[in-house]
Amino acid sequence: MTENILEMKNISKSFPGVKALDQVSFDLRPGEIHALIGENGAGKSTLIKCLGGQQMQDEGDIYIDGKKVEITNAKVSRDYGIGIIYQEFNLVPAFTIAENIYLGREYKKNGMIDRAGMIRDADEILNSLGQENISANTPVFKLSTSQQQMIEICKAISTNSRIVVFDEPTAVLTQKETELLFQIIARLKEQGVGIIYITHRLDEVLQLSDRITGLRDGVVTRTINNGPDVTKDDLVAMMVGRKLDAYYPARTVEPSDEVIFEARNFSYRRIFSDVNIKLHKSEILGVCGLVGAGRTETMKSIFGVLPHDSGEVFIDGKKVEHISPHELIKHGMVLLPEDRKNEGLSLMQTAAINLCIPNFDQISKRGLVDSRLRSKFVDKFFNLLSVRPPLPNRLAINFSGGNQQKLIIAKWLARNPRILVMDEPTRGIDVNAKAEIYNIMNELTEQGMSIIMISSEMAELMGVCDRIMVMYEGRFIDEFTRDEFDEQNLARAQSGIRVHAS
Amino acid sequence: MKKKFNLFTWLLDKRELSLTLLILAMAVILSFTTDTFATRDNIFNIFKQAAITAVLACGLTFIISGGGIDLSVANNMCLASVVLCMVYNATQSDILALLVGVVLAATVGALNGVLVTKLGLPPFIVTLGMSNIASGLALVVTKGYPINFSNKSLMFTVGQKSLFGIPILILLIPFFTLIGQFVLRKTVLGNRLQACGGNPVAASLSGLNVANLKILTYTIGGIFAGFAAFMLAGRINSGNPSAAGTVGMDAICAVVVGGTSMAGGGGTVVGAMVGAILMQLIKNALIQYEVSMYWQTAVIGIVLVCVCALDLVTRKAGEAGQK
């Protein structure tokens, strides 16, 4: 048995309200590919950030070559021979490939920066990765996404990293590029580099890895050796089974057969394609999928915030001519964005003003705000959704996440919408507030409203929705009605394994 | 993968070259259409007027390509110029005057940087405030009167005399430009400063101390303002607390027209210098064609907005072409 190159022992890390990692232990041997799997929010990224020096663990120790180390910042991490290829690239767009690769450890010659030397060596690294057609003197902003990822790999190789972490590397790659990446990974492995491979694609896990560790809710479920008898179902079992942590109200209304909203054939570049959605009156439709599956982009595009290459929207069976937020709001559809702090609320203004922003017509007379109408309006919605504390003049930033979400819902309810699209409406809010939001959703459908809810929490979708559509790599690949809800099946579909025949 | 050659984007890429060509073209047209343009006095005048803007723009290139903005350089220079005149009058030492001026301006710059990075205040507000503070202090220490000094001083020589038949002010343009260009492009430090502007996250993940590097960009901007202060005093033969005028805005325009993106990252000092000369040439052209001088600022503004718009359009076209 070879000595571990890396050992992470009993790592714990908490953020306000969540325990992201709880006594996680993980190890890596030289020349090994160790896959790390888990659902969105399971704690994979947090673990890697501890390794990369972007965050410090609260508890637990990290050992490299058996020696205990303190990884306090990115530079320390690099000096220990850890190279991390993050999902978001960290490149300076205006700089050349060579300048990016050697940023922070530039070559010097007579006190000056030695660009020629950096370009020469960078070209060599590029060649060794089969990228003969790119010159290291090219500015990075001219590169495609996959080429940019290649530069991140070059960075890791150029520091002679002995531990290389790939975080969802194939999400942005084509089939051919993926094959090339696998060759590179195989070569690194031969050289004795230890590789941590994070992905949602279970095929890749089975194809590449030597060992597999599953994370769920910040806890390691199992670490297994990969082998011919390991199946995708085994992997799914390592990821699912999250605790039910909220109370779901019983649905008190049956969706009718009437289709109130329909999106047909929405496609945009390689982000999503052939998206078809039918929403019935009084229905809560769940949309699930892994991060990067294109859920948010699809809904934003249908709402007209993002562009689309093709697609039509029908409301009440009538085609909506110009797809734009303005037009869809007029037709009674509203979108509650995922990023509520940036896109949903004006945080540094009062709750009352936030409520009034899209509703000035209801509180003004002859173009002037009528303060009596205004306070009546604000009180009405504060009471309706029981926003707490009931202080309309408090700044939005000072409300809790759950109450901020209520404010956003309230502000759009005033427009009397019939179709509500909610993107991750309960992310980052506490259990009680979640239950309140679910109740509000149920009540709204009682009044005839229809809701599309995007969520990464499968338990929540199963608890609240009448129907769940599963998105995988930009397509809806499967659909489940309430009596078919099953966490294993949903997790399979999310990983690209269709349960129903198409 | 062969890309179609696009002359237009190529010219925008090679900003220094295309601006120089534009300047030459304008110069040729002006020489043929006016009698007064192609005279030694007029040409010298253009460059003399461009000199101070160019030196300020050199320093500003560091700040803007480092991801910041500084609205206070002109008034910072003004304050330094009156102070160094007072120091000169008190000590009769040019070296001491220059030293005090540069150190003062650098300190003001560094203070901007500290407020921006350590307190996290927006650079626009910090430097706008600093601009007013510097301008106010210049008035306070002078009580509003210009400070005269003896024409035996080095300042006077720098501002008014010639070397090899060329005014010294003009010779200082390439001098400071080359120093700036060297530091920004040829040293590791310059490279790191630009990395901070291009992508602060990437820079810090590469182990750079982004806050300190940013403070340094503001300090360098201040140092250039300090030297510009010495030149300014010489040129107007006094320390004048209200000499800033539009030179600060002209300098920002010069940097942006010269190819430095307001978003930080790229940019060259040579580009900023050529930009400063172009600005002055445009003003001069308006005079040659007897357009009311009130139009000058408006035209500079139009040029700035047009260049930014062009930049954006071509960059978007470039991105679309990639997919």
DSSP code per residue over A249-287:
PPP-S---S-EEEEEEEEEETTTEEEEEEEEETT-EEEE
Task: Find the CB nearest B323 among A73, A142, A269.
Answer: A269
Q: Which residue of B has its CA nearest to A105?
A: B206
A25-to-A133, A138, A198, A222, A228 alpha-carbon distances in Å: 42, 41, 16, 10, 25
Residue A1 lies in a domain: no
Can you tell me the mean pLDDT for A252-257?
89
Q: Which residues are A318's β-sheet partners? A: A315
Whether B201 has a pLDDT exceeding 90, the answer reads no
- Better pLDDT: A222 or A310: A310
Q: Which of A99, A101, A103, A149 to mutate to test the interface with B (most CBs of B within 10 A)?
A: A103
Average pLDDT, stretch A397-416?
86
Q: Considering chain A, what percentage of its residues have pLDDT values greater than 90?
A: 23
pLDDT tens for each residue of B66-90: 888 999 999 999 999 999 989 988 8
Q: What is the distance in angstroms between the Cα of B209 and the nearest Cα belonging to chain A? A: 10
Residue B229: which H helix or E strand, with range?
helix B210-236
Residues in chain A: 502
Q: Which of A278, A315, A275 is nearest to A297 (CA)?
A: A275
pLDDT at B323: 36
Q: What percent of chain A has pLDDT over 70?
A: 97
Question: Based on the domain organization, do A406 and A429 belong to the same domain?
Answer: no
- Extended beta strands in A174-270, E state: 194-198, 211-216, 219-225, 259-268
Average pLDDT, stretch A342-363?
85
Contact yes or no for B207 and A104 at CB 8 A: yes
Interface probe for B, chosen from A84, A92, A113 (most Cβ of B below 10 Å), is A92
Measured CA distances, A464 to A56, A453, A460 (Å): 36, 9, 6
Distance from CA of B9 to the nearest CA of A (A): 13
Interchain pair A92, B187: CB under 8 A: no
- Span A181-203, average pLDDT: 88
Residue B148: count of CB within 10 angstroms of its CB: 12
Residue B317 has a pLDDT of: 56
In this prediction, residues A456-465 reach a mean pLDDT of: 87
Do A230 and A121 lie in a common domain? Answer: yes
Q: Is B320 on the interface with A (CB under 8 A)?
A: no
List CB contacts of A335: < 8 A, sequence separation 6 or more. A299, A300, A303, A305, A325, A421, A423
CB of A269 within 8 Å of a chain B CB? The answer is: yes
Task: Answer whether B316 touches A (CB < 8 Å).
Answer: no
**Is residue B322's pLDDT more than 70?**
no
Per-residue pLDDT band for A85 (boundaries 50, 70, 90) equals confident
Higher pLDDT, A321 or A291: A321
End of a domain among A391, A416, A441?
A: A416
| Amino acid letter for position A481 | T
Of the candidates A175, A208, A239, which is a domain's last residue? A239
Say which DSSP state A365 is in.
E
A74 touches chain B (CB under 8 A): yes
Chain B interface includes A369 (CB < 8 A): no
Q: B149-191: per-residue pLDDT in tens?
A: 877 888 888 888 888 988 888 989 999 999 998 998 888 888 8
- Taking the CA of residue B192 and the nearest CA in chain A, the distance in Å comes to 7
Q: Per the structure, how many domains does chain A have?
A: 3
pLDDT tens, A305-333?
Answer: 888 999 999 999 999 988 998 899 889 99
Does the structure show a pLDDT above 80 at B312? no
The CATH fold of domain B47-312: ABC transporter involved in vitamin B12 uptake, BtuC (1.10.3470)
Shared domain check, A212 and A149: yes
pLDDT at B2: 42
Q: B202 and A103 in contact by Cβ < 8 A?
A: yes
Q: Which domain holds residue A393?
A: 345-416
Task: Quote the pLDDT of residue A284.
Answer: 95
Instruction: Name, in order, each residue with C-beta under 8 angstroms of A75's C-beta and a sequence gap of 6 or more.
Output: A53, A104, B206, B207
Residue A244 lies in a domain: no
Count of CB pairs separated by less than 8 Å, A with B: 74
Contacts of B199 in chain A (CB under 8 A): 90-93
Q: What is the pLDDT of residue B198?
A: 82
Please determine, for residue A251, whether its predicted confidence score (pLDDT) is greater than 90. no
Predicted confidence at residue B320, as pLDDT, reads: 46
Mean pLDDT of A297-305: 91
Quick check: A104 and B1 CB within 8 A?
no
The three-state secondary structure class of A389 is: coil
Contact: A142, B318; criterion CB under 8 Å: yes
Q: Is residue A421 part of a domain?
A: yes
Model confidence band, residue B321 (pLDDT cutoffs 50, 70, 90): very low
Confidence of residue A470 (pLDDT cuts 50, 70, 90): very high
Q: B202 to chain A: which residues are within 8 Å by CB?
A: 90-92, 100, 103
Question: To the nearest whole angstrom, how far is the Cα of B111 from the nearest Cα of chain A?
Answer: 25
For the stretch A131-182, pLDDT in tens is 778 888 888 888 877 788 888 888 888 888 889 999 888 777 777 778 888 8
Residue B229's φ and ψ, nearest 5 degrees, are: -60, -40
- Residue B56, pLDDT > 60, answer yes
**Confidence at residue A238, expressed as pLDDT on a 0 to 100 scale:** 82
Looking at the structure, do residues A285 and A146 belong to the same domain, yes or no?
A: no
Dump pLDDT digits (tens) for B6-31: 666 666 667 788 888 888 988 888 88
User: Is B322 in Cβ contact with A142 (below 8 Å)?
Assistant: yes
Chain A CB contacts of B207 under 8 Å are 73-75, 78, 104-105
The verdict on A116 touching B (C-beta cutoff 8 Å) is: no
Note whether A225 and A210 are within 8 A (CB). Answer: yes
- The confidence band for B4, taking pLDDT boundaries of 50, 70 and 90, is low
What distance in Å separates the CA atoms of residue A34 and residue A2, rounded to the nearest whole number?
Answer: 14
Probe site for chain A from B206, B261, B312, B314 (most A CB atoms < 10 A): B206
- On the question of pLDDT at A261 being above 90, the answer is yes
Mean pLDDT within A99-121? 88
Considering only residues A215 and A87, tell me which one the structure prediction assigns the higher pLDDT: A215
User: pLDDT (tens digit, 9 = 90+) per residue, B233-245?
Assistant: 988 888 888 888 8
Which residue in A295, A270, A274 sits closest to A285, CA to CA?
A295
Please check whether residues A90 and A199 belong to one and the same domain: yes
Residues in chain A within 8 Å Cβ distance of B322: 142, 144
Percent of chain B at pLDDT > 90 equals 30
Q: Which of A91, A106, A144 sits opposite B202 (nearest CB)?
A: A91
* B213 interaction partners in chain A (CB closer than 8 Å): none
> Is A144 an interface residue toward B (CB < 8 Å)?
yes
In a domain, A249, yes or no: no
pLDDT of residue B265: 64
How many angstroms separate the first and last alpha carbons of chain B? 13
- B314 in A contact zone (CB under 8 Å): no
**Phi, psi at A164, each rounded to 5°:** -120, 130
Residue A208: CATH number of its domain: 3.40.50.300
Is residue A340 assigned to a domain? no
Q: Reply yes or no on whether the pLDDT at B319 is more than 60.
A: no
Residues A303 and A185 in one domain: no
Q: What is the ipTM of this complex?
A: 0.75
Cα within 13 Å of Cα(A164), Cβ side: 28
Which CA distances in Å does B44 have to B206, B281, B300?
Answer: 46, 11, 21
* Closest in A103, A133, A269 to B203, CB measured: A103
Query: Residue A83, Cα to own-chain centre: how many angstroms?
Result: 22
- Per-residue confidence (pLDDT) for residue A241, from 0 to 100: 64
Q: Is residue A250 part of a domain?
A: no
Same domain, yes or no: A110 and A206? yes
Q: Say whether pLDDT at A262 is over 90.
A: yes
Task: Quote the pLDDT of residue B7.
Answer: 66
Residues A475 and A273: beta-carbon distance below 8 Å: yes
Residue A479 has pLDDT above 70, yes or no: yes
- In this complex, which of A52, A73, A113 lies closest to B188 when CB atoms are compared? A113
What is the reported pLDDT for A243?
Answer: 53
The Cα of A494 is separated from the nearest Cα of chain B by a number of Å equal to 27
CB contact under 8 A, A103 and B192: yes
B12 CA: distance to closest CA in chain A (Å): 14
In the prediction, which pLDDT does A1 show? 46
The answer to whether residues A446 and A473 belong to one domain is: yes
Chain A CB within 8 Å of residue B66 CB? no
Query: Is B209 in CB contact (< 8 Å) with chain A?
Result: no
A361 inside domain: yes
Task: Say if residue A433 is in the same domain as residue A480.
Answer: yes
**Chain B contacts of A119, Cβ < 8 Å?**
none
For A501, residues 6+ apart whose C-beta sits below 8 A from its C-beta are: none
Shortest CA distance from A91: residue in chain B: B202
**B253-310 pLDDT per residue, tens:** 899 888 887 776 678 889 899 999 998 898 888 888 888 878 888 888 888 888 778 7
Model confidence band, residue A502 (pLDDT cutoffs 50, 70, 90): low
Is residue A100 domain-shared with residue A37, that is, in the same domain?
A: yes
Least CB–CB distance from B208: residue in A52, A104, A142: A104
List b or e across A136-175, with b for residues whose CB sees 16 or more CB atoms inside 10 angstroms.
bebbbbbbeebbbbbbbbbbbbbbebbbbbbbbbbbbbee
Query: Domain-by-domain residue ranges, chain B?
Result: 47-312
For residue B251, the number of C-alpha atoms closer than 13 Å in the C-beta half-sphere is 32
Residue-level pLDDT at B222:
94
Q: Please check whether residue A94 touches B, CB under 8 A.
A: yes
Separation in Å, CA of B267 to nearest CA in chain A: 9
- Rounded mean pLDDT of chain B? 85
Chain B closest CA to A146's CA: distance in Å?
11
Q: Are residues A433 and A365 in the same domain?
A: no
- Let me know: does A297 contact A272? Beta carbons within 8 Å: yes
Note whether A371 and A327 are same-domain residues. no
**Portion 10-69 of A in contact with B at CB < 8 A:** 52, 54
Q: Is B18 exposed, middle or buried (0-12, 13-18, 19+ CB in 10 A)?
A: middle
Classify A85 as helix, strand or coil.
strand
Q: Which residues of A touch B201 (CB under 8 A)?
A: 90
